[in-house]
Amino acid sequence: MNFKKVLGDNRVKPYLFKARYGVEKESKRVDLSGELAKTDHPKSISQRDDHPYIQRDFSELQMEIITPVTETLEELFNYLAAIHDVAYRSMGKNEMLWPLSMPPGLPEKEENIVIAKLKSVEDVQYREYLSDSYGRRKQMLCGVHFNFEFGEDFIQALFNAQSDIKDYRDFKTEIYLKATRNYLHYRWLFTYFYGASPSSEKNFFKEDSLHDAVRSIRSSKYGYTNSEDVQVSYSSIQNYLYDLTSMVQKGLLSKEKEFYSPVRLRGGKHVSELADHGIKYIELRNIDLNPFEPYGISYEQAEFLHLFLIYSLWKDEGENCDEWVKLGDSYNDVVALEHPLEHTKFKKEAKDIIDEMEHLVNLLDLPNSGTLFINLREMLTNPSKTLAGRLYKESEKSSQSKVATYIAKENYKKSWEKPYQLSGFTDMELSTQILMFDAIQQGIKVEVLDRQEQFLKLQLNDHVEYVKNGNMTSKDSYISTLIMENKTVTKKILQQHGFRVPEGEEFQTIEQALRSYDLFSAKPFVVKPKTTNYGLGISIFKEGANYEDYQKAITLAFKEDSSILIEEFIKGTEYRFFVLDEKVYAVLLRIPANVKGDSKHTIRELVMQKNLDPLRGRDHRTPLESIQLGELENLMLKSQGYRMDSIPEKDKIIYLRENSNISTGGDSIDVTNQIPEDYKKIAVDAVAALGVKICGIDLIIEDLNAPATNNNAYGIIEANFNPSMYMHVYPYQGESRRLTMHIIHYLFPELLQNQ
């Protein structure tokens, strides 16, 4: 088959860069000084052996980060980032991840490398077998496995563009086999650029096998390889399977999965599926951890791999394919064992391949990040720009181990900088980010169905739950949220159930509302639009109002909505109760933007100091908002007799806003433990009356010490069907309430049963 022609077919073009990706990335847990951790796998991570995102590899301290299958590289790296955040923060503040494929100094006694304490007896036995066959030291090598699947549409288009192979499955298999053979043949190129295991640390080799630094110990014959007798053909899927089976029968391999080829053909989870369904995807295994990337592999590397595979498909191969692959092994061994700073023996061939790859990009109109070819050429010209070269040069200044420890620390710091964020998904709402964090930690599969809309699919085994905005779930009924959305209906129902709500009326016309002046004029009351939020169009009259002001307020409210409410104003302090499944999990007090005087600094300075808190930021990307110094704040200060440059006396609280919204710099204070049980019961019962399971209900309470049964002890202001959770999880003051985890446990009660 003429691959060059088929790939250039116009019908193939739209699908050329469609693919699916997945990464498994192993690394070792170390303490903050870079010594191997002696602790168990973090308890906060679900301990299931089949955790979809974070597992243990050979050793208890080897953490394996597994991404789901994604359809874009962006998404792949989002998951890599997110799962790393979860891994870091689950380990706690005393541990970090070692950024190198090569382990740090190993214990003298191999037995002190602890085998992963898995639940599956079979899995533990297999590790014991590996320990016996290869030694535990070699198992401490870490790397990245890159799973790659050509887009189904792409293969289909290729298939339609040719007529040599009639059977679609045969065709698909041939596609993967050809790409694999050429990949194996040319993989020395990858080793040159991205090999990154130049030196070993103490006790890795029993005797000092390597005297000088190389490009990649891991990819060389000193790395993690089968015995030389293990030879498998890639000429056809039948031969591949036959050889594998023979190796196992001969006892050269304990199982098929012990076959440590740089490329593994995959039909599914088990080798048997290969025979049944053909090749589904391939697993590239010859990738050293990239020390300079927090997730062990760079986006550009992944781009290179994809392009390199298309190149491998396009490029003609040698007549004898077994020979062709074997040649590749020998070339790779040469390059892997070259000194990191020396030019490669195959410099000319490398240049030709790069030129051809670039030609291909132009020919097929492939997307191109722009810097890839510049960087490749620079690395080719200057070996110290390759990963091995860079690591080697950095290490010359101190030591490889010190460099690795420094890098690990930087990654660690970055992961802890904004603990409320989930890297890779920071454009989503904070509550959703925190919920995703908890789900990943609990081993629940997280799929983002609609990113802009905060729409998630969560899955634990066969149990699927869809969640929007972190707390819109299958547990609440449609009608109960519609009830909450409608203030009039909410009030009527609460009133019918005997709860105190502000008395008042709804009006559809200005005239109607004006006619009811007498009903409100003499008491404290509020005029507000029926459905808008954010305080727009609301007027509060704490002492009643004259007719003119009443009229103005009504006109204002009608600008925001076609229906308005006029209600009695209830005095007291407003608390937000977060109720979940008939229990109050958090109560929050919100107070207006403020600073506390110290008799030294101006208000401006105090505001700037307070804004340094990493919890504060802009545009709801942080749990608290920065305090502004705008017109409204100036007015507020003025009304209290201050200016921006005033220096308030020690401990004097200066308010910069009248409203207590978090969005205008207000403080969130957790007061869950201070709220008496009887008020919590009011909240729970009111939420139950509305038929709601997840609700943020706002109560105004005049005096927490007075019993809730007192006449007018409280008033219910609103029930929110989309209460923000992050403000409870990361309050300005008081205890953090991990509501997101409660939601997860509410949606997946089996998590608690299985513990």
- Among the candidate windows 9-17, 274-282, 432-440, 599-607, which touches a second copy by CB under 8 A? 9-17
Q: Determine if 368 is a binding residue for a second copy (CB under 8 A).
A: no
Contacts of a second copy in 675-694 (CB under 8 A): 691
Long-range contacts of 471-477 (CB under 8 A, 24+ apart): 471/431, 471/694, 471/722, 471/723, 471/725, 471/743, 472/694, 472/721, 472/722, 473/693, 473/694, 473/743, 473/747, 474/747, 475/581, 475/693, 475/694, 475/746, 475/747, 476/692, 476/693, 476/694, 476/721, 477/691
**Phi and psi torsions of 719, nearest 5°:** -120, 125
Nearer Cβ to a second copy (326/475): 475
Nearer Cβ to a second copy (72/371): 72
Q: Determine if 486 is a binding residue for a second copy (CB under 8 A).
A: yes
Number of residues in contact with a second copy under rule CB under 8 A: 37
- Among the candidate windows 262-270, 340-348, 393-401, 473-481, which touches a second copy by CB under 8 A? 473-481
Smallest distance, a second copy to C-beta of residue 307, A: 18
- Among the candidate windows 208-216, 410-418, 483-491, 628-636, which touches a second copy by CB under 8 A? 483-491
Is residue 244 a contact partner of residue 271, using CB atoms and an 8 Å limit?
yes
Cα 190 to chain center, whole Å? 28
| Site pattern 718..747 for a second copy (x: CB under 8 A) | ---x--------------------------
Contacts of a second copy in 414-453 (CB under 8 A): 449-450, 452-453
| Site pattern 537..566 for a second copy (x: CB under 8 A) | --------------------------x---
Q: Is 263 helix (H, G, I), strand (E, B) or coil?
A: strand
**Phi and psi torsions of 138, nearest 5°:** -65, -30
Nearer Cβ to a second copy (279/744): 744
Nearer Cβ to a second copy (80/467): 467
Smallest distance, a second copy to C-beta of residue 146, A: 25
Q: Determine if 492 is a binding residue for a second copy (CB under 8 A).
A: yes
- Among the candidate windows 123-131, 161-169, 511-519, 576-584, which touches a second copy by CB under 8 A? 511-519
Ranges assigned E (strand) in 581-627: 583-591, 594-596, 616-617, 624-625
Q: Determine if 511 is a binding residue for a second copy (CB under 8 A).
A: no
Smallest distance, a second copy to C-beta of residue 438, A: 18
Burial string for 291-306 (b: 16+ CB within 10 Å, else e) reads bebbbbbbebbbbbbb
Q: Determine if 13 is a binding residue for a second copy (CB under 8 A).
A: yes
Question: 456 CB contacts (<8 Å, ≥6 apart)?
Answer: 432, 435, 436, 439, 446, 447, 448, 449, 466, 467, 468
Q: Determine if 474 is a binding residue for a second copy (CB under 8 A).
A: yes
Phi-psi region of 92 (alpha: psi -120 to 50; beta: other; left: phi over 0): left
Smallest distance, a second copy to C-beta of residue 488, A: 5
Cα 524 to chain center, whole Å? 49
Smallest distance, a second copy to C-beta of residue 472, A: 5
Smallest distance, a second copy to C-beta of residue 723, A: 13
Nearer Cβ to a second copy (185/500): 500
In whole angstroms, give the CA distance from residue 563 to residue 487.
11
First CA to last CA across the chain, in angstroms?
A: 56
In whole angstroms, give the CA distance from residue 247 to residue 229.
9
Q: Determine if 532 is a binding residue for a second copy (CB under 8 A).
A: no
Of 229, 230, 252, 250, nearest to 240 (Cα)?
A: 230
Residue of 145, 326, 345, 468 that binds a second copy (CB under 8 A): 468
Which one-letter DSSP state was computed for residue 672?
G
What tokens were used for 429? 């709402």
Residues that bind a second copy (CB under 8 A): 13-15, 449-450, 452-453, 455, 457, 465-468, 472-483, 486, 488-489, 492-493, 508, 516, 518-519, 563, 691, 721
